[in-house]
Amino acid sequence: MYTTRLKKVGGSIMLAVPPAVLKTLELSTDSEVGMTINNGCLIIEPQKRPHYSLEELLAPVRSARRNERRGSGMD
C-alpha cells in the first residue's frame, strides 16, 4: 500500500501520486482520471481515451456526402 499526503495548492487540495504508482498505471501529468466514492473510500481510476479506426472516424463524413449527393440528384 502506498501513502501520500493531501497538500493545499492555491485554492485546491492536491493529492501527490508516487512515481511508482504513475509508472504502474501508465499515467503522467495531465492524464485524465475518474474519481468515485465507494463505501467511504476514494477510488481513482485511469480514464483511457477511446481508440477509433479510420473507418469509424470517416463514417459520419461519408454518410453526409451520400445524403448530399441524394439531395442534388447525383445518385
What is the residue extent of each domain of the chain? 6-72
Class of domain 6-72: mainly beta
Task: Give the Cβ contact number of residue 44 at 10 Å.
Answer: 13
pLDDT band at residue 73 using 50, 70 and 90 as cut-offs: low
Residue 43 main-chain phi, psi, to 5 deg: -110, 125
Residue with the three cell numbers 441524394 = 70
pLDDT for 74: 58
Residue 23 has pLDDT above 90, yes or no: yes
Residue 14 has pLDDT above 80, yes or no: yes
Q: Could you give the percent of the chain with pLDDT greater than 90?
A: 56
